[in-house]
Amino acid sequence: MRSRSKTTSNAAMRSASCPARRVVGLGARRCRGPRYGLARAGADNEAARDFCSRSESVSGPGARLFGLNLDTRFRFSTGLLPPSGPPDLAFEVFGEAPPAPPGPPLYASPVRSLHGEPGFSLFREGAVDILRFPGPLEFRVDGPRIRARAPAGTPPHRLEIAFLGAVMAFLLEKRGACALHASAVATEGGTILFLGGNRGGKTALAAALLRSGRDLIADDIAALEATREGLIVRPAYPSMRMWPDEADWFLGTHEALPLVHPDLDKRRVPVGPGGFGRFLDRMVPLRRVYLPERGGTGPPKILPVPPSEALFALLAGSFLARVMETAGDRARRLDLLARVAREDRVRRLLLPDGFDRLPEVVETVLADR
């Protein structure tokens, strides 16, 4: 039985979701790795450890994620792509304790830290949005500028997890996208999303498609956006987060992979050159959204979902639904997700148990037109 401890910030982000839970262009960059990774289950662990050491990378100044160029001197341990043009965003970190909040929060997570602090809070001071986490950590969002404050000695991974998760989701929402808690993979017919929580199997489903030769778009946050050309999904960054049993199956071992967080069993898996599978740095049209459900021992099945039920599931799978509602962004998000439901893009995916059944699931999904 897998051990899956949860950090306060992760739980807070889930509580911030709903209580139930430019189109493809030329010149896109594809980060290529071995088509099937270096190892399958039972493969030689030394080869897998070599894979881990060669794949580990540290981002230098500046980065590219979610199709945006980031100007920053913060060094991410998650391997991010280098910027490809002028900056769209700027991120600065100051090693000092943040000031007291400017007043009562617009939103405060019901999840509390060991010291009784909300796991996540949103404040507003004029035109500046303030995202606050226990520690305290503070991210001030002023248009394209993000300034973080944390007491000296704060572990960098705490800043990184908050920035790549809730902060980027908030920024994407402010720029007109909808951040869904989903993995996303580019296929011949467009991007496939697997919507779900931490136990939904969305990463394993994405990894199985990568093993079949498809390209990763996102692993945890899928940024859906409406353009003149249609609905598209923004590329996140070339990394996945796998539980130990997932890493054991797809890579042969999890032991040498770096932890995402010291208190979490998930491991960081680089995607691209020297890593697992491929990453596509391109905005790709949306093809389908799947709602994974465990279906026992039978064959995988795809079932239709009525539009009203599809909309409810999309709202439940939004990364920051309650937060964005309190920020006054409910109508835009509802219109976007209602469009997805109305265009009949949502399907229920019944999954047989076991990693060894994933090839059947991949075949079924790719045949769904």
Contact yes or no for 345/289 (Cβ under 8 A): yes
**Residue-by-residue DSSP string for 228-276:** TTEEEEE---SEEEE-HHHHHHHHS-STTSPEEETTEEEEEEE-STTSS
Q: Where are the domains of the chain?
A: 8-367
Mutual orientation of helices 244-251 and 45-55 as an angle, nearest 10°?
110
Show pLDDT as tens, one digit a residue, over the chain (369 residues).
Answer: 344 444 444 555 544 544 333 233 323 445 544 332 333 333 333 433 343 333 333 355 799 999 999 999 999 999 899 999 999 999 999 999 999 999 999 999 888 877 788 889 999 999 999 999 998 999 999 999 999 999 999 999 999 999 999 999 999 999 999 999 999 999 999 999 999 865 568 999 999 999 999 999 999 999 999 999 899 999 999 999 999 999 999 999 999 999 998 888 999 999 998 889 999 999 999 999 999 998 778 899 999 999 999 999 999 999 888 898 888 888 999 999 999 999 999 999 999 999 999 999 999 999 998
8 phi, psi to nearest 5 deg: -60, -40
pLDDT at residue 329, as a whole number: 84
Contact yes or no for 268/57 (Cβ under 8 A): no
pLDDT at residue 23, as a whole number: 32
pLDDT at residue 41, as a whole number: 35
Pairwise CA distance, residues 96 & 99, whole Å: 9
pTM metric for this prediction: 0.84
Q: What residues pair up with 206 in beta bridges, in sequence order?
A: none
pLDDT at residue 43, as a whole number: 35
158 phi, psi to nearest 5 deg: -70, -40
Burial grade of 126 (CB within 10 A; 0-12, 13-18, 19 or more): exposed
pLDDT at residue 263, as a whole number: 86
pLDDT at residue 110, as a whole number: 87
